[in-house]
Amino acid sequence: MSKTLSERAPAKINLTLHVLGRRADGWHELESLVVFSRSGDLLTLTPGPGLTLDVSGPGAEAAGANSDNLVCKAARNLAARVEGLTLGAFHLEKHLPVAAGIGGGSSDAAAALRLLVRANHLEPEDPRLMDAARATGADVPVCLAAKGRMMTGFGEKLGPVLGLPPLMSLIVNPRVPVETKQVFARMNVPLGTQTHFGKHPEIGAGLEAEKLYDLLRRSRNDMEDAACTIAPIIGDVLAVLAAAPGCKLARMSGSGATCFALFADCKAAARARKTILRAHPDWWVKVSLLN
């Protein structure tokens, strides 16, 4: 019997997200500092013939049809590049909200690729792996290593791993899905133009936490205003987080509706979580380290 392998699929958090412009082919040029949570979905693989996916957990229903899931798409893309690739039975325990701006599906796909690497004894640096990631989705490449780094282009250009200090966060989703393409459409950046919203501060390796906080405050998420017009509750979430005692920064992640707040310590984050859940018991609220 094949041994079942497992991988965590953490949430992807855009600490910054600058929209630099829009290319003639329609893709938006981005510059974003991306980090990952310590928890998220859980994906397992029992290697074997064929390709199947079973989804369970609190987010299973929202994950959609299994055949359309990015886990299966990633597996098929790698199989198209690696002759004789062993696939098998995937099981996804879905905890992260979908269409939430935290790359849940992309992280699941990256976890599938990591599992297939292990099952087939491939090298993690095999270029076919990154090719399959790019073919699966714009955020899948950065989710492969799931480490803090700059992401540019439309997500395909990755800077070096930065080794950022762990950041204590509170991540909140009001359980309102927001489609990325709707937010970009609302921003209405013309083809072949630049936005000139302002430069992204330089983020280097080895930063101390306070210096990183300072740089983050000088940056932004350019999709936030457009997302708030589509889902006004995002503004409510940001206001609640910003008002929490000890909050150092409150911002939306990705295209929303998930927002995050950074705190100096876990006690302040835990107090804020308790207060928010008391007032909004239907929201998805998690305390997590980011790095």
Residue 288 to residue 290: CA distance in whole angstroms: 6
Question: What single-letter DSSP state applies at residue 237?
Answer: H
CB 112 within 8 A of CB 105: no
Residue 239: Cβ within 10 Å count = 11
**H helix or E strand, kind and range, residue 207:** none
Q: Confirm whether 214 is a catalytic residue.
A: no
What residue type is assigned to position 233 of the chain?
A: I
Q: Confirm whether 12 is a catalytic residue.
A: yes
Choice among 41, 108, 139, 222 that is catalytic: 139
Residue 103, SS3?
A: coil
In degrees to the nearest 10, what's the CA dihedral of 129, 134, 137, 142?
70
Beta strands in the chain (DSSP E): 5-14, 18-22, 28-48, 51-56, 87-93, 149-153, 157-158, 167-173, 193-194, 247-252, 259-263, 284-290
Nearest of 4, 37, 15 to residue 107 by alpha carbon = 37
- Residues designated catalytic: 12, 139
